[in-house]
Structure 1
């Protein structure tokens, strides 16, 4: 008996097949197939031959590979009974629920009292295949590993690209050649992690940013994940994603993976990026007011740190408003006896020493300036030097002698009493003040990974969102330590990195946009001398890097010269003028012929206009700039091109390329095949080019 199913959109086809009622396997995933394709033929045609030294038949590379089928690689499920004895499932088909764009496959293992359910949903607008797996058991079991439905890796691929990082250095791309065996990456920090963003790209041979076949994956879970990219001895390849192994500490009768978001692109990495960006923005993030433009932020942290003074903060708010800020965010230091990072976390009461009349005088001043008000919390953490810890030391997780992180421990978010206390304190602040924004921080890893901790944090966020549906929330975790589609289903913005160094941000933002749209990536103009790198950068560069994403300021505006004030005001005004279309634009990576240049093209969804940001990170190896080829334009259409910051050309730019002196009208074919010839520039500068289809 041969079974088969297919899912289609305008770009791709996914075919699943099975023999003799066994678990299905993905037998085809790629460009759209004809509606007349015989699926039974595809299931049989994909079977590989056998030869000496092999089994008489190749075990299925199914959506949950089973050890009982002699599968030679990583199984899709590892479970034990309450005595610790392994359970080896052997599933058989029960039923299939089919609907337009979705498929749910049900399987049973009667002998072991197990049920396995695989969900597939292909979104026709974003081309995103959203999958998840569910395990149900008659008796409680220990779960060591459960993969989301397993997908095949393409054969015409030489490498995989995954993402690593560190504090102030997130979203670094790693390229690893395929070879026999496993590329296994596991994040056991208990949060998404700077170190291992749960994403993967698998390019086929010859693919780049703008062309070729690429497969993209993202696991939408905030508690640490495991990824496996394995090449079997017979040459087949599998991709597995799931929660980090052995983080379910209790036995249960039901387990569920988080969604695995998987996409096929026939237009290079950009095709994956556009799908991820649109799916997150349009299908996952739940905006309190979708019509509200993203407001320009001012964050107080790098201006005052813990030294809160009402008069100073009011002055900063006035200056920020004059620069164009629309939201004032009061960062750490407003509560308890919080004079440094060693005390008062979890004491969420306004500090009467710093605010003898409470926060309302500051909020009233901010509102009078036309800005809304946001505030910082770190709800999941506690300092041993705090009133709450002294009253409830049992609320902290981990051993008494554990290594602290930023002088703090982690609250037990699986404990309903802890969540109730935090909700009460957060609610009191929100109910009694005009606050429309929370910066929700998470400044240390867990002492031990625990899925229940993540579910508890989700539950608190969900409760806050339900009680205060107009309040937006930013996910911050020492910067980019908790960025994923799971947390973003409960929040609205991410703090990509604690680094406000524009040079570091240039590459980080570029890579993060493979998964994240402009509207969720906070990017601030930092101080003249960056507090995390010590580097001093020109304000033109700092401002334009911030203008690539959700713009804000995070510095002391009193340090600005008159010229810097003018520049920052002009760039902010430009951003506010263009944000209406940029908020829904696709961020496209450009293949720069100069390795010193990091370039992207933000393209309006109706293709009527675009802006190119070409940032020069270091000295070029050649004298003159190489032409920068654009992408996704209409070859026969005419475009008006304008270098909007040509006045920033340095004295050493002595020639007169056309863009340096005036606008030009050229075809999309010229822009894509020859490219833009830009003026010469120093390192740590940015050219900004606007394009309008005529």
Structure 2
């Protein structure tokens, strides 16, 4: 007997099936199947043939591949009893619960000691599938590996794309050809990590941003994680995501993976990106003020660092407000005796030397300028030179002789007394001061990856959110070291990178848009000379790169010339005028024929307007710009397209492209098939174009 189940949305169908009571396998995941499809028949239709050198039956590539049933690839579960003896279960079906867009499959092993449950849901609006696995035991077991429900990878794909990175160089795509064997990425830093972002894209043959088929995965967990992409000798391929091995060091009776988010796109990699962007924005993030526009952000870090002077900060705040800032964030240096990064983490008491009257005078000044006020914390860390460490050295995670990082240690967040201490200190500051924003940093790697550390951080964040639901929180971890759907279920913004170099940012933002919408992605106008790269970039380029996402400033406004201040104010005014519709726009990466151009199109929810950001990241090989093709427009509609920053034209642009003199009216077909002809520009510059769909005659 074949058991079978299907989940559908308008774009895709996921079919699971099993012979008898065995674990189900995904036997189809791709474009929407007809309602009349015999899904039970798909199980037989997909069976592969046998030949020499194979077992007499094909072990299923199930949602949790079982070593006990002779599966010869990476198993979905590695378990031992409390004495360390391997435990190799064989599961059978106990029950299936089907709901509207949901499926729960329950299994038990043959001796009844274990139960395994897989939950699936499909969101018919965002087109994201959510899958999660849990394991329960009648007696304590040691878990070495538990994969979220396993999905197959297409055998028609040639490559896979995952992501590496580093400090100030996040979201570096790595394209790897499929080959027999395993590609494994494992983050063991205790956070989702710069080095191993928990995401994977498998494009179909010939797929680009705008065309072809693609599958994508994201593991929504903020701790150590592992990804396995395996091609078996028989050609089948599987994708596994779960917590990093060894992160459940204690024996237990219940274990659970984080949610695995997955999607299929029939219209290019952008289809996966849009699904993730919408799902994160509309299903994951909890917005304190969902109808409020995203405020223009100012962070004082690269203006003053640890050198806090009240009069100076007031002056900086006044200048930031005059440029258009709507929120002021006081960064590191306000607490303990924090004059550098060697001291006082853990001592969350306002420094009376710098703020003899507390933060009130600065907050009142900021509020008087019409701005909200935010404050920096790094709660999960402690300096050895701190009152907290001297009082409670036993609260540190890991051995006493561990290698320190950034002059700091990690607090053991699994301990309730640690979380209570941190909650009390943070809650007191939030209660006594008008603070509506927290920048929550996480700057050092953990001495060992431990899932309890992540769960403890989640618990503290959840408790604070319950008590202060109107306070927005930004996730920062040396920039982009902790970005994932798990942390974003508890925060509303990420600091994508510590690099305020607009050229670096242009690329990082482009890649991060595969998973992140603009509204959560902080992007700031940095100093004229970047503090992380030493590169000097024009204010126009810096401003427009920041305007691609949640715009802010992070530099000393006193360095700006009158002309630079005017340029920045103008770009900020444009962003404010457009942030309403851009907040719900899809970020579509464009297939640029010129590798020196990094371009995207932000398309409004109703398709009636768009903005194109075309960044000249390097010198082009050819003399004149290649036409830039747009995407997802109505082929028959006419669009009015205008150059927003025409004033940025340079004298070396000597020709007469139509956009130089005014707007053009072109069909969607032309814009998608031929593309826009842009003026020439220097490297390190950006063209910004607005498009509006024109109303057809006879329509209202």
1:399-442 Cα deviation digits (max 9, x unpaired): 22211111000001000000000000001100000100000000
1:19-64 superposed Cα distances (whole Å, 9 cap, x missing partner): 0210000000100111111112111111000001111111100000
Residue segments in structure 2 that go unaligned for 5+ positions in a row:
695-700
Matched ranges for 1:647-666 at <5 A: 647-666=647-666
Correspondence list, 1:530-679, <5 A: 530-679=530-679
Match of 2:92 in 1: 92
* CA-based RMSD: 0.5
Give the match for residue 38 of structure 1.
38
Q: 1-side partners of 2:347 and 2:166: how far apart?
A: 29
The Cα of 1:110 is off from its aligned counterpart by 3.6
Establish whether residue 368 from structure 1 lines up as the match of residue 384 from structure 2: no
Say whether residues 1:528 and 2:528 are aligned partners. yes
Q: Distance in 1 between matches of 2:676 and 2:28?
A: 40
Task: Tell me the equivalent position of 1:500.
Answer: 500
Contact 1:592–1:599 (8 Å) recurs in 2: yes
Aligned to 2:697: none
Q: How far apart are the structure 2 equivalents of 1:224 and 1:250?
A: 16
Q: Distance in 2 between matches of 1:212 and 1:533?
A: 37
Tell me if structure 1 keeps the 8 A contact 2:89–2:110: no
SS of equivalent residue, structure 1 residue 197: coil
Q: How does 1:46-57 map to 2 (within 5 A)?
A: 46-57=46-57
DSSP-derived class of the 1:580 partner: helix
Q: Structure 1 residue 627: deviation in Å?
A: 0.1
Displacement of 1:112 after TM fit?
Answer: 5.5
Secondary structure of the 2:690 match is strand
Q: Distance in 1 between matches of 2:586 and 2:35?
A: 30
Aligned twin of 1:290: 290
Tell me what 2:321 maps to: 321
1:506-546 deviation per Cα after TM superposition (whole angstroms, max 9, x unaligned): 00000000000000000000000000000000000000000
Indicate the residue corresponding to 1:228 in structure 2.
228
CA distance in 1, matches of 2:448, 2:415: 16
Tell me what 2:187 maps to. 187
Pairing 1:144–2:144 present: yes
CA distance in 1, matches of 2:40, 2:565: 68
SS of 1:598's equivalent in the other structure is: strand
Contact 1:413–1:453 under 8 Å retained in 2? yes
Deviations 1:184-224 (A, max 9, x none): 11001000100000000000101000011100100000001
In the aligned structure 2, how far is the partner of 1:647 from the partner of 1:337? Answer: 48
What secondary structure, in the 3-state scheme, does the structure 2 residue paired with 1:196 have?
coil
Query: Given that residues 223 and 449 in structure 2 are in contact (C-alpha distance below 8 angstroms), is that contact kept between their aligned partners in structure 1?
Result: yes
* 3-state secondary structure, aligned to 1:362: helix
SS in 1 for 2:197: strand
**Are residues 1:196 and 2:196 paired?**
yes
What is the DSSP-based 3-state SS (H/G/I as helix, E as strand, rest coil) of the residue aligned with 2:17?
strand
Could you tell me whether the CA contact under 8 Å between 1:333 and 1:340 is conserved in 2?
yes
- Contact map agreement 2:186 2:227 (CA 8 A) in 1: yes
DSSP-derived class of the 1:281 partner = helix
Q: C-alpha distance in 1, partners of 2:314/2:110?
A: 68
Q: How many residues are aligned here?
A: 694
Runs of 4 or more consecutive aligned structure 1 residues displaced over 3 Å after TM superposition? none
**Could you tell me which residue of structure 2 aligns to residue 487 of structure 1?**
487
Gaps of 5+ in 1: none
The C-alpha deviation readout for 1:346-393, integer Å capped at 9, x for no partner, is: 000000000001000000000000001000000000000000100000
Q: Quote the residue 1:688 is aligned against.
A: 688
Whole-Å separation in 2 of the counterparts to 1:651 and 1:401: 62
User: Residues 350-361 of structure 1 correspond to what in structure 2 (within 5 A)?
Assistant: 350-361=350-361
Q: Tell me the CA shift for residue 572 of structure 1.
A: 0.2
Contact kept in structure 2, 1:492 and 1:520, CA below 8 Å: yes
Q: CA offsets, 1:459-493, max 9 Å, x none?
A: 00000000000000000000000000000000000
SS at match of 1:636: coil
Question: How far apart, in 1, do the equivalents of 2:548 and 2:629 lie?
Answer: 19
Retained in 2: the 8 A contact 1:89–1:112? no
**Partner of 1:439 in structure 2?**
439
User: Is the 1:87–1:112 contact (alpha carbons within 8 Å) kept by the matching residues of 2?
Assistant: no
SS in structure 2 at match of 1:30? strand
Aligned to 1:214: 214
Deviation string 1:438-466 (CA, Å, 9 cap, x unpaired) is: 00000001001100000000000000000
- 1:127 CA displacement: 0.6
Report how far residue 397 of structure 1 moved.
1.0
- State the Cα distance separating 1:114 from its structure 2 match: 0.3
Contact 1:210 / 1:269 at 8 angstroms: preserved in 2?
A: yes
- Taking the aligned partners of 2:321 and 2:53, their CA distance within structure 1 comes to 74
Distance across 2 between alignment mates of 1:595 and 1:206: 17
Instruction: Map 1:328-339 to 2 at 5 A.
Output: 328-339=328-339
Q: 1:274 corresponds to which residue?
A: 274
Cα offsets for 1:272-324 (capped at 9, x unmatched): 00000000000000001100100001101000000000000000000000000
